[in-house]
Amino acid sequence: MNGSVIDSYQLSSLIELTSNLADDSMHADWSSQRILLNAVNKLLWTLNFDYCLMIDNEEHIDCLYGEGDGHLIETIESLQIKELKNNTIVLINQVQYYLIYQVLPLEKNKSNTLVFLQQGQAFNSSSLIIIELFSAAVKRLLITKAEEHKRIKLKNEAQVLLRSNQLKSEFLANMSHELKTPMNGILNLVQLLQNTQLEPHQLEMLNTIYESTENLLGVVTDVLEYSKLETNNIKLISSPFVLSKLIESITIEIKPEVNRKGLTFTEQLDVQLPTQLIGDALRIKQLLHNLLNNGVKFTKNGSVSIALSGKALEKNDYELTIAVEDTGIGMTKDAQTWLFEPFVQGDGSTTREYGGTGLGLAISAKLAKAMNGKIQVHSELDKGTKFTVSLPLKKVAQKQLPQSPEKTSHNTLSASELQPHTILIVEDNLINQKVAGLLLEKLGYKYDIAENGQVALGKLEQKHYSFIFMDIQMPVMNGHDATKEIIARYKNQRPNIVAMTANTFDEDKEKCFASGMDDFIAKPISELEMVRVLSKFPVK
């Protein structure tokens, strides 16, 4: 009857016990201590022991089973456990106990020891086997738990990092927006001031103020653009565009600076290139503008060039390759590796000499990525830099020039005249009220001011207006709500409503049109834009 070393009752209990241990180790929120306590309690049924202790490598003793009084802990602490044999007799409180133990090596320099004590009789061979099997399961559990602990810690850290990165971007976006508004005010007021009678040195000072503010605005716009790309808020619009026109519009912007520095500028378009391609022309322009700007900025003498080539792929796919090359200061191999990171310039010291936020290339890289394209750099120190951008675009199926609405609107603008509108400015910011008002006065208009949507509704009841300039972000009632209310109240008799806001993202425009506004002008308000909208809509 007692032929087998382990009887089957012991075996079945052990199987159940180890499978429980394995199951419990999956509970993320259960500590290994709790699982072990539960397991040792059950192990008690297969073996007859009086104490079970666990000692970690820092000699900390946990009593897993039995009353862990002071004497017991003291005695065990003074034992050189690793030198004892199994079934060694130890005396605790004048009582003889048989002791066996198992060392569980975990990772390097870490181990736990399981110690079992039994009164009266020695542990037999079947008990030893069970303790060995049990210890193996406990070791497995401790390793699993340690790994899980690490995994959870890593996961938490990753989440914190991700969140703080988002917060950083949000902060930058909000901050930039807040900065943009007052700067627009300064720009507009300086512009108006420049047209008044001034002494020459006053005019010079004003010019400096204007330039500095514009530079600052450029930096803020960069930051805003970058944080938008960082938070993946970019929306691409695919439409046909004429390649040569696009390049022309970029070179026009860059030419004055090129001439000022006495550089030569060349543009080269492969004859094989199709006249039209489909893609987001605005983003491509932004990307190339950044690269060219960079080239001009870091080149003291020599040349800056842009070369376009490409190849037709399957179906209508077309790969456009643009190379922007300069003979400027260049950069080391090292610098090239982190060049596309934000707030970095080739040499940490370059910022002071050449200015800029170090965001241009980061924005370019993000833009290229957003368009599924690639951007590469080849550069040698003091020789020059070459950026190569390849963008996957599409060819236009039929040969048909796209309509260029800008051109027609420009024509009508010059042809048309200002309409005799009665105007209401709805705007909460005092500087902006002043700017818009002064511009209107300059154009010969009279106007009223309402500081929010609610006030505007009141004014509309008292007087008929044919034109409203509507700010979007206002206290009490914002521009969207006010517009909806005006449309609901006055239907066809309503005045024309043109949004004016510093939020110039595409989605903001869409939002304005969605709430029923007729047009959109961006802050800083330019005289040209104001003339455009005031001539576009006839008086109702």
Q: Which is nearer to other proteins, 12 or 96 (CB)?
A: 12
- Nearest distance from C-beta of residue 474 to other proteins, angstroms: 57
Q: Which is nearer to other proteins, 65 or 467 (CB)?
A: 65
Residue 223 CA to residue 219 CA, distance in Å, equals 6
> How many other CB atoms are there within 10 angstroms of residue 188's CB atom?
22
Which DSSP string do the residues of 67-94 spell out, in sequence order? ---HHHHHHHHHS-GGGPPTTEEEEETT
Start-to-end CA span in the chain (Å) = 110
- The two tokens of residue 107 are 């990772």
- Nearest distance from C-beta of residue 33 to other proteins, angstroms: 16
Question: What are the residues binding other proteins (CB under 8 A)?
Answer: 1, 7-9, 11-13, 15-17, 38, 41-42, 44-48, 50
Among residues 179, 286, 145, the alpha carbon closest in space to that of 226 is found at 286
Q: Which is nearer to other proteins, 119 or 156 (CB)?
A: 119
CA 494 to chain CA centroid, Å, is 42
Phi then psi dihedrals of residue 35, to 5 deg:
-65, -40
- Nearest distance from C-beta of residue 9 to other proteins, angstroms: 5
Q: Which is nearer to other proteins, 50 or 230 (CB)?
A: 50
Q: Which is nearer to other proteins, 50 or 427 (CB)?
A: 50
DSSP 61: E
Among residues 307, 251, 245, the alpha carbon closest in space to that of 281 is found at 245
Q: Which is nearer to other proteins, 13 or 345 (CB)?
A: 13
Q: Which is nearer to other proteins, 14 or 306 (CB)?
A: 14
- Nearest distance from C-beta of residue 66 to other proteins, angstroms: 9
Among residues 51, 101, 56, the alpha carbon closest in space to that of 71 is found at 51
Q: Which is nearer to other proteins, 47 or 263 (CB)?
A: 47
Which DSSP string do the residues of 303-338 spell out, in sequence order? EEEEEEEEEE-STTEEEEEEEEEE-S----HHHHHT
DSSP 27: -
- Nearest distance from C-beta of residue 7 to other proteins, angstroms: 6
CB 267 within 8 A of CB 251: yes
* Sign of the alpha-carbon dihedral angle for 487, 488, 489, 492: positive
- The two tokens of residue 233 are 């808020």
- Nearest distance from C-beta of residue 5 to other proteins, angstroms: 12
CB 390 within 8 A of CB 321: yes
- Nearest distance from C-beta of residue 32 to other proteins, angstroms: 18
Identify the H or E element spanning 254.
helix 243-261
Q: Which is nearer to other proteins, 19 or 93 (CB)?
A: 19
* Sign of the alpha-carbon dihedral angle for 333, 338, 340, 344: negative
- Nearest distance from C-beta of residue 93 to other proteins, angstroms: 17
Q: Which is nearer to other proteins, 31 or 159 (CB)?
A: 31
Phi-psi region at 497: left, alpha or beta (left = phi > 0; alpha = psi -120 to 50): beta
Task: Give CA separation, 78 vs 59, 60, 95, 386, in Å.
Answer: 10, 13, 17, 73
Phi then psi dihedrals of residue 301, to 5 deg:
-145, 160
Residue 64 CA to residue 50 CA, distance in Å, equals 11
- Nearest distance from C-beta of residue 38 to other proteins, angstroms: 7
- Nearest distance from C-beta of residue 50 to other proteins, angstroms: 7
- Nearest distance from C-beta of residue 134 to other proteins, angstroms: 13
Q: Which is nearer to other proteins, 130 or 306 (CB)?
A: 130
CA 299 to chain CA centroid, Å, is 32
